[in-house]
Structure 1
Amino acid sequence: MSAGSSRDGNEELTIYRQYIHDIPTHGIHFDLLKFTQIDFILSFAIEHYDKHGKGDGCFQPIWNVDGESIEWVKKLKEDHPEVRVFISIGGVGSEFPFNPAKKYKWIHNALETITKIILLYRNTIDGIDIHYDVINSSKDDFSFCIGEVIKQLKNDRKLSINVVSIAPTKLVEPYYLKLYKDNKLVIDLIDYQFYNQKFSSKEQVVELCKKLVIDYDPAKVIAGECIPVHTMLEEGIKYLIEHKLIAGIFVWTFLTLPVDPILPL
């Protein structure tokens, strides 16, 4: 990542990230040349739960995984060297909480099943994204279980996992902050979901970002927007971009193809 690491408004906007909820099997065209790094995040790999809502760490993708989609990812990366592809584990909403039944068994199952998904794509997967919106465990258990999984995936030489991102929201940010502080060396990007809270002014967006770059590393903080974007959030993100306060943005959308990000004129 080529972004700077100061807190005084010197961040270069280099990263564009977008969640993809299904893989198109046709060609793709996009104009994101303003960015030196483009990430597409396949979402989600979800785990199995028992009747009590306890997860077993056995992940399976909910996007289409077949020969065509695997070939699509391979060709995408061949045609666009600036593109990285991620797998996001977790899910959105109370249906997909982080709530392991047994910690060590969860870690074992998660490593085994996530590795299988990565290998299906013939090592064209560059990173892992952690995206739990609901966490029903303790902060210690969340940090320990997720930390062990991302460390071992990054250290597995048969894989090509070079980047790990986490996606905090306002409600569970304390969990993610502990996870980050316990695993700073293996967490590369903080995709904060700005769109999951309300703002009454662009100043509130800016103040939140300033807090985040103090809590985390400023070169790692990515501002998340949703399509369509709330007016105040749009204005706040434009301000952050114009004043080089963030290293990049990510987009949450239910569209399959990439969308145009919010950028200043």
Structure 2
Amino acid sequence: MEIGLLKLFPALLIILQALSTTHISILQLADAANSKLFREYIGANFKNVAFDEPFPSFLHQESAFKCQRSFEPWRDTVGNDPAFFKPSSVESWRANAVSSLTQIIKNYNLDGIDIDYEHFQSDPDTFAASVGGLIETLKTNKVISFASIAPYPEVQSYYLALWKSYGNLIDYVNFQFYAYDKGTTVSQFLDYFETQSSNYNGGKILTSFESNGNRGLSPENGFFTACDTLKNQQKLHGIFVWCADDSKNNGFQYERQSQELLAEKYYCGFLVKVLKMGFFWTSDPGPLLEGTVPVICQLPIYLGSGVDNPSDVSSIKNQNSNVKVALSLGGDVQGGYAYFSPSSVNSWVSNAVSTLTDIIQQYNLDGIDIDYEHFQTDPDTFTECIGQLISTLKRNGVISFASIAPFDDDQVQGHYQALWKKYGHLIDYVNFQFYAYDQGTTVSQFMSYFNTQSSNYNGGKVLVSFISDGSGGLAPDDGFFTACNRLKSRKQLHGIFVWSADDSKANGFRYEKQSQALLAIHH
């Protein structure tokens, strides 16, 4: 597991916790407090809380936050003079630092410290013994839960000495990659990252950029390309940013982009075989600052080859607690239709319960998605077959949820609305295929369609949807997310699903990322 960190300097650091995942994070996310970092000045305001006062009330409002004191008063200068690390002795410095910081940390309800000394009038061994002893004492006394360091090339001898003796106590290495020359290329950046990963062997090295683009690899010149490469290699432990003042001027554009990148989750193996990818609100939607958006992958049974063995699903779910996997029944098959044509209700239900129970338990699945689109039976028979199936599987504890996937066709709607009328209380999501409407659908038309289907499936969680290739309905480039924002402001955006992963893969899952970011934001 890895951690995701988004950091804005200097002085007070707020860590936004996120759920553990395999290779992401809102940032990459994981232990030592499953977090992404956001830093603001003491004296600034956030949500009407002044940070020059103790702020436990703020933390109570935002349980995902943790705060860290940047330890070098104040980082680079005092007035116009450098702030030197200049202890009279290891013991006296350590004692004074422990006493002072303990008081500050408890007063401000902080969680960790960041070591950011850049000027020294001492040798590396004294620095290592002083700072290492400080971290050790604060952790032993349970004053802090984590510590980070912020080295750059010119100060390596001091920080490497600290790492050699106390690296086991340092949770993050916030390396200042922006200290390299302006015009750094992606290739050079990746080389620098490998060098520092070797220097701080075993450490969680964060990438970094400077908001004004004056040094290092800037966001506009390939920083996020480099991050994507590291993410694919499972080496992107987080991102930190210098500095909040410059970032504020551009509306924190790159911090948002960092957050979206680190929040992405796409799942191995069968994902390209998935027919729909759902981003579903639950009773706790898991907003971006707390974790990744809950994801439900729907696996069609006729594409069983997409999962090599049951352990593949179990592995994905064990590593990603927000993922649920559903079996999709029906749809179409290559070159033909999959008809719903039972010989009788009782025999169909009996066979379906037996077969699906075996598959669901073998593959450690969570739910089923009903996606029949072609019928050789009447609505009442369909209703009893599907309704009894869902009821039995839920009653037996085989599934925890069920969804349906209707679209605006008279025969289809007749069958699904009959099912909803009798068994709607057992159906958790209505994955309505809004992309089945005509290509060129407008935002206004889409909103009208949504209202109509919400009425048809009254009381249900109706999900919006789009088709990746833009061939039907309201396309992402033509206003889909505008419509989503309107629904979100009305608290009617219950989730988004996408057809299809094969097409989405070709554009790098661009719109899934945008969907995930939108659903993760609270209004």
* Structure with the greater alpha carbon radius of gyration: 2
Q: For 1:91 and 1:130, how far apart are their aligned partners in 2?
A: 9
**1:237 aligned partner, one-letter code:** F
Greater helix share, structure number:
2
Cα gap change, 1:141 to 1:23, in 2 (>3 Å): same
Matches within 5 A, 1:101-250: 101-121=343-363, 124-157=364-397, 159=398, 161-171=399-409, 172-198=412-438, 199-217=440-458, 220-230=461-471, 232-234=474-476, 235-243=478-486, 244=488, 245-250=492-497
Identify which of 100, 119, 130 aligns with 2:342: 100
> Which residue in the other structure is 1:40 paired with?
297
Cα gap change, 1:24 to 1:131, in 2 (>3 Å): closer
**2:401 aligned partner, one-letter code:** V
SS in 1 for 2:328: strand
Is the deviation greater in 33-42 or in 107-116? 33-42
**1:206 aligned partner, one-letter code:** M
Cα gap change, 1:143 to 1:23, in 2 (>3 Å): same
Q: For 2:441 and 2:485, how far apart are their aligned partners in 1?
A: 20
Does the aligned pair in 1 maintain the 2:293–2:322 contact within 8 Å?
A: yes
> Normalising to structure 1: TM-score of the pair?
0.73
Structure with the bigger RCO (C-alpha within 8 Å, sep 6+) is 1
Q: 1:142-197 deviations in whole A, cap 9, x for unaligned?
A: 1111101111011113x2x1100000011112211111111022100000011122
Q: RMSD of the alignment, in Å?
A: 2.8
Q: 1:188-240 deviations in whole A, cap 9, x for unaligned?
A: 00000111221542211110001112222466111122211247333453133
Q: For 1:152 and 1:103, how far apart are their aligned partners in 2?
A: 13
Give the gaps of 5 or more residues in structure 2: 1-266, 273-278, 280-286, 519-523
Cα gap change, 1:207 to 1:65, in 2 (>3 Å): closer
SS in 2 for 1:183: helix
**1:259 aligned partner, one-letter code:** F
Q: Is 2:315 the counterpart of 1:75?
A: yes
Q: Count residues with an aligned counterpart.
A: 218
**1:101 aligned partner, one-letter code:** S
Cα gap change, 1:228 to 1:24, in 2 (>3 Å): closer
Q: For 2:445 and 2:481, how far apart are their aligned partners in 1?
A: 13
Is the deviation greater in 232-241 or in 78-87? 232-241
Identical amino acids, percent of aligned pairs: 27
Cα gap change, 1:115 to 1:23, in 2 (>3 Å): same
SS in 2 for 1:40: strand
SS in 1 for 2:375: coil
> Normalising to structure 2: TM-score of the pair?
0.39
Q: For 2:357 and 2:311, how far apart are their aligned partners in 1?
A: 18
**2:449 aligned partner, one-letter code:** L
